[in-house]
Amino acid sequence: MNDSASTNFEDLEMKYISTRGQMEPIEFQDAVMTGLAPDGGLLLPESLPNIGNQLEAWSKLSYTELAFEVISLFATDIPADDLKKLINDSYATFEHPEVCPSVEVGDFQILELFHGPTLAFKDVALQFLGNLFSYILENRGGKLNILGATSGDTGSAAIHGVRGKPNINIFIMHPEGRTSPLQEKQMTSVLDANVFNLAVDGSFDDCQNIMKTTFGDVPFKTGHSLGSVNSVNWARVLAQTVYYFYSAFQTLEKTGAKTVQFSVPTGNFGDILAGYLAQQMGLPISKLILATNENDILSRFFNSGTYGKAAPVPTISPSMDIQVASNFERYLFYKVGKDASALVGLMNDFSEKGALAVELNENGTVDDLFVAGKGDTASTLEIIKRYKDDYGYVLDPHTAVGVLVAEKFQSPEAPTICLATAHPAKFTQAIIDATGEAVHHPTLDALADAETRCETIANDVDLVKQYVVKHI
């Protein structure tokens, strides 16, 4: 499905279109500031470059050098020197010199994505996006009011990406009582004047619905300069594609294999979408292993072809407690051959009936690239304990779901890379329940007595809008 066979990128000018087909193509910086498209769709590049001829050269690069090569293909309206500085500044905040290192644990390579300021994979994208917002506002003028919804990690990573930055306010909604205590503390202990935390009386899906409904009110969105940090923002997904390339190169060199497979714990489909796009660009990925917890709308889809809502269930992996995956529409757009009208028909089915369906292929699958499974709380706790006992490595409960499902799909030809999406110290109770003892990290220990600021609000779009207007 690669859209272009060209490998001469010097004259490439990348434009962005909506999955729903009702807007003219726009450039990268406009796509970043737009977030959700005016027609309610999600933005995607008009085409994906085929980078097959670049793989050998790219495999020798550092993380920041590789990030520049990948991102520059899509951010063609930012001068090279400016983009390099944005990338270098963004990843200078990470604790590990490799930014996203891989470690061998048992049969798997564990890709550690938690070495950023908030100890979660969201930092990889949101440190970059925060600097990108500042860069665009500095050049263009104006203000930005960010409205976001979080099931746990996005909120704190977004807040830490833009805290204290001039001309930016950030409003983050989280479901009251449904994030881990440390996730909540990481958000609500940031007291900068431009940061506003809202605890919504509802689920993450409710928070996400408020956000999407507000962005769907185009006069309100444009009149109040709203922007998005959720993975509806294309720059988020783009930044995440980089670590698929980086870890694949390391694993291929280490093992001598010709291809790899990735196991990705996901609830909102953004992280695994980044892997899908990397594969479409030419990275040799033989399988994407999609792992969900009890909130299994995505694993049910890839096993049956039907994408149907269910009530969200609180679990020990709260960042995946999602039943409406905001990035799924982007994948579906490719699935229907980039046919915007067919995509709109499917999304209307989902909106009206709570379900949509696609036909299975001749192999009886939705997509031969994907396999999928789920892990429940008991099995997740068991695998955390087993990996601690057997390998001395503590998995956070989200990563543990990915490892659990990966064990079902191992391949002798393709080594498996499991994405470690958060540091285990963020989920103290789950780790104690699994292993009998807590894991600590100084960044989190420092929050114990921190002052917090947060406002509880009803699950009501109009009340959230009123709050935003009052505080911008």
The model's pLDDT over 380-422, given as tens digits with 9 standing for 90+, comes to 999 999 999 999 999 999 999 999 999 999 999 999 999 999 9
What residues are paired with 112 via a beta bridge?
420
Residue 281, domain extent? 102-116+235-443
The model's pLDDT over 120-165, given as tens digits with 9 standing for 90+, comes to 999 999 999 999 999 999 999 999 999 999 877 788 999 999 999 9
Residues with active-site annotation: 122
Whether residue 417 lies inside any domain: the answer is yes
Whether residue 366 lies inside any domain: the answer is yes
Mean pLDDT of the chain: 94
0.75 exceeded by pTM:
yes
Whether residue 128 lies inside any domain: the answer is no
Whether residue 24 lies inside any domain: the answer is no
Whether residue 196 lies inside any domain: the answer is no
The model's pLDDT over 279-311, given as tens digits with 9 standing for 90+, comes to 999 999 999 999 999 999 999 999 999 999 998
**How many other CB atoms are found less than 10 A from the CB of residue 339?**
13
What amino acid occupies position 384?
I
How far apart are the C-alpha atoms of 461 and 209, rounded to whole Å? 9
Whether residue 42 lies inside any domain: the answer is no
In CATH, what number is assigned to the domain containing residue 287?
3.40.50.1100
The pLDDT of 1-19, averaged and rounded, is: 66
Whether residue 395 lies inside any domain: the answer is yes
Question: Torsions phi, psi of 169, nearest 5?
Answer: -115, 150
Going by pLDDT thresholds of 50, 70 and 90, the confidence category of residue 10 is: low
pLDDT of 180 above 90:
no
Whether residue 176 lies inside any domain: the answer is no
How far apart are the C-alpha atoms of 44 and 122, rounded to whole Å? 20
Overall number of domains in the chain? 1
User: For position 391, what pLDDT does the model report?
Assistant: 98
